[in-house]
Structure 1
Amino acid sequence: MSVDLTPPAPSGAEPFLRLRPPRTPAWVAMYHSVADPSDDPYEITVAPERLAAQLRWMRRQGLRGVSMKYLLEACAQGQERNLVGLTFDDGYRDFVDHALPLLRQYDCTATVFVLPGRLDGDNAWDPLGPRKPLLGADGIRHIVECGMEIASHGLTHVDLTAADDRLLRREVSGSRAALHDLTGVEAQGFCYPYGTVDERVAAAVREAGYRYACAIAPGALTGPYALPRVHIGQDDTAWRLRLKLRTNRLRRRVLARAAVTG
């Protein structure tokens, strides 16, 4: 049986929160670092040239990359056709250097999930591979000024399903407060570190005031606090992107049937 985490719609809520059931975005792409991918045991790094080729492919298919906030608002109005959600996890500094100019060149926006508890730090949670510098306060504010959405990836990148209640609240609510202090904007979105989520964690994200949350493959959880995504990597050339898009459309139909019959 599927578990729907759709919240009750408060007065004055954003349109996408009033959907019953919520629409599932057509496709949400998950990126991480945009840099030299030659030393990357986790296969999460995409070269700037590859990202440019992927964005060109989207344009040739009549697709446009947008932030999660924009995509979900479009879904609420039935206008999500030909939109692709673009997300970048972990808040690597190379987003400003390499991804941002390409997104602007191809008239795209994106959501960047950052770690306000690791400002100007690095990806210390990855035991293998090179240390990658993370965004600081100035970089985060610059991204907002450029029209991108900043959202939370927690404070320090921990597996929230293994966290006690106190640490869970700190990572979820504390990161939202920290981002507001940094940008003056209320963060609407959350991304679960490592993609791991359960009902307790999703409920904590909802109660902290976020409007949506992204996972990877959330299993039986459905709704705006368990949005699935498709990993995009260095090996994703045009034919692989086309295959992933078709596979994701099939998965949407399967998930929709499960939500109705579960």
Structure 2
Amino acid sequence: MVADISAAPPAAGPEPASRGRVKRRPTAWVAMYHSVSDCPDDPYNVTVSPARLERQLAWLAGRGLRGVSVRELLAARARGAERGLVGLTFDDGYGDFVTCALPALARRGFTATVFVLPGLLGGENAWEPIGPRKPLLDVDDIRRAAAAGMEVASHGLTHLDLTKATEEVLYAEVNDSRDRLAAITGADVDGFCYPYGYLDERAAAAVRRAGYRYACAITPGPAGSGDFAVPRIHLGEADGAVRLELKRRLARVCRRSLEAV
């Protein structure tokens, strides 16, 4: 699906002080998921089975940890109440989020952030050149997720590498996706996730100007990005108890490193 670029971006100007590059303390641990299904064909390692997800959530709960959306995690951090929380994110807006992930989260009393592509609603993961075609969330699915207490956030319109986008396409991917999701959910859209985890200073600035409160990446991003390049740790099918503990410790090391910058 071609991005709607009919709306021209506003003229560039100084960013408000509140949107400036304020260095903020990073979150302790944000986990990154994608698809949840029993699909053995997984060339990009983005699929976790429902059974494995259940065991991973049980592992968190067994250690006194509660999975929450990034919005909830950042709000808790602002109150100094972040301890014991783990951010859970699901990229790409696969349809199996509502059929497989949502029930597992609900059973534990967990919440999560699902990053969706409003330019591909009801479509499929056409950005992946190989591998199985998987259906994406549609409008009813998004409303169901929001009604269940999940945070619905933007992954752009069509899963493009924003670092290579023209100014018009960048504006559409960042701004139009936020507007479309707000119209569907009837609520503000606070979060953004950079497709492929790719970002640069231009992309991060576009996200700040669009009115988002945070953005998720994989690595910390350009210096001074703060909450507009929240790093995450990938969780997949191979992550059992031992690997989860190692990744939990890795998150602590990453946090200390970031705080020292």
Q: TM-score, normalised by structure 1?
A: 0.91
- After superposition, the C-alpha distances for 1:130-158 in whole angstroms (9 at most, x for unaligned) are 00000000000110011100000000000
2:128 — aligned with what? 126
- After superposition, the C-alpha distances for 1:10-67 in whole angstroms (9 at most, x for unaligned) are 8xxxxxx9xx642211100000000014110001000000000000000111110000
- After superposition, the C-alpha distances for 1:184-227 in whole angstroms (9 at most, x for unaligned) are 11110000000000000000000000000000013443301010
Q: Does 1:247 align with 2:245?
A: no
Q: Does 1:8 align with 2:11?
A: no
Give the residue type in structure 2 aligned to 1:100: L
Query: For 1:246 and 1:220, how far apart are their aligned partners in 2?
Result: 24
Query: For 2:16 and 2:237, how far apart are their aligned partners in 1?
Result: 37
Residue 7 of structure 1: how far off its partner (Å): 7.1
Gaps of 5+ in 2: 1-14
Matched pairs, number: 246
1:68/1:53 CA distance change after superposition, 3 Å:
same
Instruction: Report SS of the residue matched to 2:173.
Output: helix
Residue 237 of structure 1: how far off its partner (Å): 0.2
Give the residue type in structure 1 aligned to 2:86: V
Instruction: Please tell me whether the aligned partners of residues 90 and 115 of structure 2 are also in contact (alpha carbons under 8 angstroms).
Output: yes
Matched ranges for 1:23-62 at <5 A: 23-62=25-64
Give the residue type in structure 2 aligned to 1:226: A
1:105 — aligned with what? 107
Name the Cα RMSD after superposition: 1.7
Q: Percent identity?
A: 59
Regions of 4+ moved over 6 Å? none
Instruction: Report SS of the residue matched to 2:61.
Output: helix
Query: For 1:172 and 1:29, how far apart are their aligned partners in 2?
Result: 23
Matched ranges for 1:108-257 at <5 A: 108-221=110-223, 222-257=225-260
Instruction: Report SS of the residue matched to 1:84.
Output: strand
Instruction: Please tell me whether the aligned partners of residues 201 and 222 of structure 2 are also in contact (alpha carbons under 8 angstroms).
Output: no
Query: For 1:197 and 1:225, how far apart are their aligned partners in 2?
Result: 10
Q: TM-score, normalised by structure 2?
A: 0.91
Query: For 2:57 and 2:154, how far apart are their aligned partners in 1?
Result: 24
